[in-house]
Structure 1
Amino acid sequence: MKIRELGISGAFEVTSPQHGDSRGLFMEWYRFDRLAEAVGHPLRLAQGNLSVSAQGVVRGIHFADVPPSQAKYVTCVRGAVLDVIVDLRVGSPTFGQWEGVRLDDVDRRAVYISEGLGHGFCALSDDATLSYICSETFNPSAEHAINPLDPDLAIEWPAEAPIFSDRDKAAPSLAEAKASGLLPDYAACQEFYASLRTV
């Protein structure tokens, strides 16, 4: 298993070897010990989600209040998506930057997204199916969104006519969310990450 940190601190790409023969294949798509070694603390498994999307659907950019927020470990078990991570932590050296990783059912990569980072994706195929595990259960009162078409983010969504939910279309821009105090603070996130290492 190869785990590498992306250009945004706290975001990791995970590539696992696949062992195949005429019967099919086997792989370890998640290893708590390897991930904990790379991230600096274990991922608490509190909830598992499955998301199925038609081609061209964009979901996100979503994030949650820190603490506790929601760390996510995401993989695509059917089809393909462009998975997008956005640094929403005010004061971060990469604040407002985004990075995309193709997740599909061929290479079977995964991404780990730390608390305080924004997450979204664009379905590149019909029935694109994401499976992801989260460090906390869903808390609607602590969940927020940033408009995925915010020109300040300038995310290059790979869809001619992206399909968004009403919630995501109505979400504030990055600047609006920052001005209203909605975004996570980078220093507070660092303190929270440190607290997880002592658990």
Structure 2
Amino acid sequence: MNIIQTHLEGCIVINPRIFNDDRGYFFESFNEKRFFDAIGREIHFVQDNQSFSTKGVLRGLHLQMGEHAQTKLVRVTRGEVLDVAVDLRKASPTYGQYHAVLLTETNNSQFLIPRGFAHGFVVLSDEAVFQYKCDNYYNKASEGGLYFADPDINIDWQLPAADLLVSDKDKELPFLKDAVDFGF
């Protein structure tokens, strides 16, 4: 596997070694030992999630706060999404900055997003299946998030705003400057 450290400390893009032949392809999507060796620390994943969405669906920017914070390892098994992590660690030199990664069914890349980040994605293909591992269980009372179109963060979602399909709940999330302390 090829590990690419982003400018946000702890956010890592993982590109698998893919073996292609006339029958198709094979790759190891997760191997705990190789994963730990590659990122330099152990993460115990306890929950896997999957979503299906159509073009323009934007989910985010979400996070779990406090003791329920989550590290996520995300990937796309069908389609194409732009995946985004926003640094919410107050002491970080990259606080309020984001990193975006194109995750597709053909590049098979994965994005590791540690605790202390908001996360979201937008579907760029007609349909997408998005999968992710979490190192902590979901807790409704610990939900948090940021408004996806916060001008201070200025994320380029790669689609016109009029084409984005955003839940009413996500449209009500706060701007970074108005957000509560997320506990990071």
User: TM-score normalised to the size of structure 2?
Assistant: 0.94
Match of 1:193 in 2: none
How far apart are the structure 2 equivalents of 1:148 and 1:30? Answer: 30
How many Å apart are 1:114 and its aligned residue? 0.4
How far apart are the structure 1 equivalents of 2:66 and 2:3? Answer: 25
- Letter of the 2:125 partner, please give it: S
Alignment partner of 2:28: what SS?
Answer: coil
Q: Deviations over 1:40-70 (max 9, x none)?
A: 3222121111111110111111111133411
Match of 1:99 in 2: 99
How many Å apart are 1:102 and its aligned residue? 0.3
How far apart are the structure 2 equivalents of 1:11 and 1:114? Answer: 6
Q: Which runs of 5+ in 1 are unaligned?
A: 186-199
Residues 66, 116 of structure 1: 8 Å contact kept: no
Higher strand share: 2
Alignment partner of 1:67: what SS?
Answer: helix
Residues 147, 172 of structure 1: 8 Å contact kept: yes
Q: Deviations over 1:109-129 (max 9, x none)?
A: 001110111110110012211
How many Å apart are 1:35 and its aligned residue? 2.4
Match of 1:72 in 2: 72
Residues 61, 145 of structure 1: 8 Å contact kept: yes
Match of 2:17 in 1: 17
Alignment partner of 2:106: what SS?
Answer: coil
Residues 52, 127 of structure 1: 8 Å contact kept: yes
- How many residue pairs get matched? 182
How far apart are the structure 1 equivalents of 2:116 and 2:52? Answer: 24
State the percentage of identical aligned residues: 36
Residues 68, 142 of structure 2: 8 Å contact kept: no
Runs of 4+ in 1 over 4 A off after TM superposition: none
How far apart are the structure 1 equivalents of 2:136 and 2:147? Answer: 23
The root-mean-square deviation of aligned C-alpha atoms, in Å, is: 1.2
Q: Which runs of 5+ in 2 are unaligned?
A: none
Match of 1:41 in 2: 41
How far apart are the structure 1 equivalents of 2:2 and 2:129? Answer: 23
Match of 1:157 in 2: 157
